[in-house]
A and B are shown apart, each in its own frame.
Chain A
Amino acid sequence: MPSLGQFLSQAFNGFAFGTLLALISSGLTIIFGTLGLVNFAHGAMFMVGAFTAFVVLSQWHSFIAALFLGAAVLLVLAVGLERGVIRFYYNRPPEDQLLVTFGLSVMLVEAVRALFGSLSQRVPIPQWGEGIVNFGLFYYPLYRVEIIGIAGALLLGLYSVLYHTSLGLVVRAGIEDPTMVGLLGIPVRRMFLIVFAVGAMAAGVAGVIYAPLAAVIPDMGTPFLVEAFVVVVIGGLGSFGGAVVGGLIVGELLSLTSLFDPAYSQAAIYAVMTLILVVRPRGLFGAEGRA
């Protein structure tokens, strides 16, 4: 049996990873909930964020710059993709959406591979993130503690934008009834573009934050994409709260099961997802409507 310290340390790990997953998943869920679009390129967008961090941090060593540039790169990318491809797919069946975003995802991954190669890139932990915190029962890397803070703050920011600004009002109304939003004088199409960009930026910024912890490689997005989908399915497609709670659940599941046998952690989340789909098909917080 693992000791209490080990257990707490792993639980903390799960929490840190969970907030990060929640951030990625919230982007996925906003896009799906508002636009009815299944974005299979979400993992690739996360990866693009991580590579932006790699470039910026190895050039200027400024994490803040990496965060902003990561968001900016994703903004440009998202606007290009939405105008060029995605907007033609809002009314197509989910299979077509999966296919086209899958194709875009391959293009992104391969473009990055062509630029940086397949080798794993190391991104240094920022100076203020070096070191270890003593929690009494266990020691814990400082940067992971900070991740919780940063990702948590970003989630909170996203939440306030969604729930306490007029953009949020428009987005939430748009989730329910885009036609009526249009009838109230609000250009729905532009709103769709904004939503897609915000969702993509959430994934990209998560990539920036995660970069120092991982091997930064072109394929790194795939497991995150799959896990984010699991999160969203568990939490309920289109539900912001569901993405957060689902993210934490999946984060904890992954790290607590790996306490016993790391091999089983992936299996655990799929088992939970399948179980939830059988018992509660709309997910924990899923509402009626799309999908």
Chain B
Amino acid sequence: MLEVDRINSFYGDSHVLFDVSMKVRAHEVVALLGRNGAGKTTTLKTIAGVIRPRSGTIHFAGEPIHRLASHAIARLGLQLVPEERRIFATLTAEENLRLAALTVPDPWPVERIFDTFPRLAERRRARGGHLSGGEQQMLAIARALIRSPKLILLDEPFEGLAPVIVEDLLSLCQRLAEAGPTIVIVEQNVRAALSLAQRVYILNNGHNVFEGTPRSLHDNPEVMSRYIGVGAEEEAI
């Protein structure tokens, strides 16, 4: 469904991704892990067309998308839920959803979203800026769902949320994953991510360093501590 082949991305002059590759099959949940600054967010942004890769290719459902603008990629059914959520603060919850649905031929009905997120139904007239962090995250995910995407990229959906809310969102994501769309999730909360994912990629300093199942990662505590945790060895990479 998604094929990322040796992409190199830059922020200005800063080389952030070095030949990063990944493959995602349809109806699969893939976790992309790594420390802060490892290039996870950049990978998602590059896939979604916010950043254009200097080299390498990205194919989505067979089509090359690495030269497309972000809006064109979104219209193909690939939806990024960015970190920091990026809810439009001056728009109401409902307007946020309506805006998202504008360019999709067959969006979810708003009511279906509200059935899925009863909490948002209560707050539909509240401005985005007045929603709590958890509500904003729900809205960010809902804003993606309403576009009935084929592939969702979730960037740190649990960051900065209270544990109860994380549990809620987690079960929501689980249901979501069972329902069909393919998901790529980037998360600092490794346990949460691993409980969802069928496969894992790990990045370090912009390089692929691991690919496998959550189980194989558990069997490999050294990889864990080296690329994700603190207790790293002292030698250079």
Contacts and interface: CB of A to CB of B under 8 A. Distances in A.
Interface of A: 166, 169-170, 172-173, 175-177, 179-189
Interface stretch (B100-108, B131-139, B166-174, B218-226): B100-108
Interface of B: 48-50, 69-72, 74-75, 79-80, 82, 86, 88-91, 95, 98-100, 102-104, 143, 147
Contacts of B72: 187
B88 A183 contact: no
B104 A185 contact: yes
B91 A173 contact: yes
A173 B75 CA distance: 18
Contacts of A182: 49-50, 69-71, 74
Contact of A173 (B74, B79, B88, B147): B88
A176 B90 contact: yes
A176 B71 CA distance: 17
Nearest to A288: B89
Contact of A183 (B70, B89, B90, B98): B70
Contacts of A188: 71
Interface centre among A170, A179, A180, A189 (most CB of B within 10 A): A180
B150 to A, nearest CB: 13
A169 B98 contact: yes
A169 B92 CA distance: 10
B71 A172 contact: no
A90 to B, nearest CB: 15
Contacts of A181: 99
Contacts of A186: 71, 99, 102-103
Contacts of A166: 98-99, 102
B82 A180 contact: yes
Nearest to B86: A180
B99 A169 contact: yes
A175 B88 CA distance: 10
A179 B70 CA distance: 8
Nearest to A168: B95
B99 A184 contact: yes
Given A172-B90, A177-B86, A177-B88, A183 B80 contact: yes
Contacts of A177: 86, 88
13 contacts: A169-B102, A175-B90, A179-B70, A180-B88, A182-B49, A183-B48, A183-B50, A184-B74, A184-B99, A184-B147, A185-B75, A185-B102, A189-B69
Nearest to A174: B88
A169 B95 contact: yes
B7 to A, nearest CB: 18
A183 B68 CA distance: 12
Nearest to A191: B71
Nearest to A175: B90
The 4 closest A-B pairs by CB, nearest first: A185-B74, A185-B103, A182-B70, A180-B86
B120 to A, nearest CB: 17
Contacts of A169: 91, 95, 98-99, 102
Given A166-B98, A169-B91, A185-B75, 16 more contacts: A169-B95, A170-B102, A172-B91, A175-B90, A176-B88, A176-B90, A179-B50, A181-B99, A182-B49, A183-B50, A184-B71, A184-B102, A186-B103, A187-B69, A188-B71, A189-B69
Contacts of B95: 169
A30 to B, nearest CB: 14
A103 to B, nearest CB: 29
